[in-house]
Structure 1
């Protein structure tokens, strides 16, 4: 049908990771899969007080207003889950967030449930809430282990905290990706 748009700039979502914090717990590399984050990273790295107040968080998922790139993160989870997002029909476009390309599953429901599990106090993954400061500031102050940001943010992160020992990695994928 032709070209609808052509991006002038590509600025991918990446996962920044604190090398020192992961290294302290014998993680040599950042997590490459969501299963690793759920089964190893969060249980090992989350630090809570006796009353479940979060002191250190592995990642900033679960809320939206204090997550700098929340829209991009949820969009990424939708795409990884196989969402059609938008489809073209008879002279119209349809929003199909919860319709998988394969016809199986509900990508929107799955993505939102996964994302919000990290903010439910009774959930074992509980590691973020709206009382936390902005995720980028938490990462810069070394109270957040993994920060999901745009690739272009690297220089600014280095400038704001020149002592922060961090790396940049691809965002995690599902184990079957």
Structure 2
């Protein structure tokens, strides 16, 4: 059979595009202008990452004739604003979206086909955990940043109790929290060693419970079948809620306390679990706070060493009319050179393996990089609703209306119903 000239040209172009993709994502090329190298490409991009983090990258893209107007959005309203904008045909061309938006908003994004970035190249280029973006035909986006949960600890409080370092295992964490927790004459908590046990005033309670479960090897949600996997939840619930039980030696937190982040800033809390990106906000809100950042505790002699984390990706929206231009911009921003700049600006870890391997000289970021390599997450179908389910599960245990087993079973049933709608 004779092959037509047009088919030969198309095949050749596909091969060239594939080679360029490999070179860009592997870091050999810093990014390329694509169609933007000749004709100006104008795009809009939304996200919740600070605009200053993208400043230098957007300047660099203009050299390839790619002009991006970035709008920084409020994280609490971003998803709803994005959905509403698409409904009014006023949506952006690109979005920088967190991992909890992958499952609910995947149908509003244009899949980047495996012909552009193959599955093997994706997995070789980006950190473990980001494969949640992969579909049967391609990727829902290209990951650029990872924001893991880390442990913040007040060095002055630790020093005053002759404790030299942060706890490395949950056994150490338990005993350290007991030593650091102080009570007043009425038996009320005067200073908390740690903030666990309750949902109403513990920042990131769902993420903390998630990391406890994930450390047992349970994925919470199977990424392929979307089945709920709660193995390890009973023990995680039991451990988490012990810290709010006045009858236990581990008692360190109560509903009367302020939000955990505020308590840490005001130095009435010794240990705080937060995202790595919160480092600068802690510094800004209390410049005199003497604290450090460490990896989260692990299960003693456990098979897995990991933490929970979220990651941010670049997605091409369904309303982007210039897919080729949007893809060129995405590839350029996901290049090694640009991800490094964005990572430094956002104070988050890069999602690229090569940059994680190279590391950083910034001491706090070194810990964030290490935790990023170990991060895991799960496909959240509706962040608000799943948070409500986790909150109800926790509350039912510390109020003693349910056992850990019953609370876990009921929450699993609710999640099953949510994922099967």
Please state which band the TM-score falls in when normalised by the shorter chain: 0.7 to 0.9
Judge conservation of contact 2:203–2:259 (CA < 8 Å) in 1.
yes
- Residues 1:16 and 2:152 aligned together: yes
- 1:17-96 to 2 correspondences below 5 Å: 17-39=153-175, 41-87=176-222, 92-96=225-229
1:111 aligned to which of 230, 236, 255: 236
Structure (1 or 2) with the larger CA radius of gyration:
2
Q: Report the equivalent of 2:297.
A: 172
User: Aligned equivalents of 2:298 and 2:132: distance in 1?
Assistant: 28
- Count of residues paired in the alignment: 165
Q: Report the equivalent of 2:274.
A: 149
Gaps of 5+ in 1: 100-106
Q: For residue 83 of structure 1, report the CA deviation from its aligned partner.
A: 1.4
Larger relative helix fraction: 2
1:123 aligned to which of 248, 255, 258: 248
**Please, which moves more after superposition, 70-79 or 50-59?**
50-59
TM-score, normalising length: structure 2: 0.38
Q: Report the equivalent of 1:102.
A: none
In angstroms, what is the RMSD of aligned CA positions? 1.5
User: Aligned equivalents of 1:27 and 1:172: distance in 2?
Assistant: 16
Deviations 1:144-169 (A, max 9, x none): 00000000000010000000000000
Gaps of 5+ in 2: 1-118, 120-130, 134-141, 303-421
User: Aligned equivalents of 1:69 and 1:87: distance in 2?
Assistant: 22
Q: For residue 45 of structure 1, report the CA deviation from its aligned partner.
A: 1.0
User: Aligned equivalents of 2:202 and 2:132: distance in 1?
Assistant: 30
Which gives a bigger RCO, structure 1 or 2 (Cα 8 Å, sep 6+)? 1
